[in-house]
Amino acid sequence: MHLDHSHSALSAVSADAHRPDGARRALRIGLGGPVGSGKTATVAALCRALRDELSLAVVTNDIYTREDAEFLLREAVLPPERITAVETGACPHTAIRDDISANLEAVEDLEDAVGPLDLILVESGGDNLTATFSKGLVDAQIFVIDVAGGDDIPRKGGPGVTTADLLVVNKTDLAPYVGSDLARMAADAKAQRAELPVVFQSLRGETGVADVAAWVRGRLAAWAA
Ligand SMILES: Nc1nc2c(ncn2[C@@H]2O[C@H](COP(=O)(O)OP(=O)(O)OP(=O)(O)O)[C@@H](O)[C@H]2O)c(=O)[nH]1
Ligand SMILES: [Mg+2]
């Protein structure tokens, strides 16, 4: 799917919590963050952790390809009809913040095709520290950074680090190899985010995505209530 600038009017409709038939729509959670931080790997792990207890689907965004969706399809994290790719053709933040029409169309098509759904995960293309999702597209956002990107990233701030509903510091297994100081990252993140939650995770480790999955379950419980 390509960005089509003729559907902007959808955003007003889709910010509503209900489908046209009055049923509650799926909770939409966006995952953003720098290139290669582990967004797709986190989406894959979340699908494996949650697919037996929830009805879920995924929208991926890539600039020129369908790489991330193809990875999720190859890994068979969900049935193929539950995975949709948006080719943004421009800076990734454009499609999640400025003209969200292609993404809205993708989430609504998924609900029509395989719904009712409890949860739709929307992965942004890798971008910079300023990229955030429009509130007309997602109900909550996760910002994924990784320890190999430098342990000064939390201190540098930016809206992803400071305002995301959940900050994930991924690849903690790599910290000793790249000389990242996890305690410093935790202190800087706390200073930037006050009470907003932060999860340190390694998808190579035993607990994997468990903390993020628990946070998602909490958001779903609040959404259902
Ligand atoms: N060591 C280690 N590698 C990881 C971890 N999580 C992800 N990776 C690896 O990091 C690389 C990038 O992960 P992706 O999930 O593709 O990253 P992404 O943020 O989706 O990347 P883009 O969509 O291209 O921006 C892959 O080779 C993953 O296997 C982790 O916790 N530890
Ligand atoms: Mg990805």
Q: How many angstroms does the Cα of residue 69 sit away from the middle of ligand 2?
A: 8
Q: How many angstroms does the Cα of residue 9 sit away from the middle of ligand 1?
A: 34
Domain positions in the chain are 23-224
Chain center to CA of 60: 9
Note down pLDDT in tens along the chain; length 225 residues. Answer: 443 333 333 333 345 788 777 788 999 999 999 999 999 999 999 999 999 999 999 999 988 889 999 999 999 999 999 999 998 887 888 899 999 999 999 999 999 999 999 999 999 998 888 889 999 999 999 999 999 999 999 999 999 999 999 999 999 999 999 999 999 999 999 999 999 999 999 999 999 999 999 999 999 999 988
Q: Whose CA is nearest to atom 3 of ligand 1?
A: 171
- Listed residue (103, 140, 120) closest to 43, CA to CA: 120
Please give the CATH number for the structural domain made up of 23-224. 3.40.50.300
- Give backbone dihedrals phi and psi of 116, rounded to 5 degrees, phi first: -70, 145
For ligand 1, say whether the CB of 170 is within 6 Å of any of its atoms. yes
How many CB atoms lie under 10 A from the CB of residue 223?
18
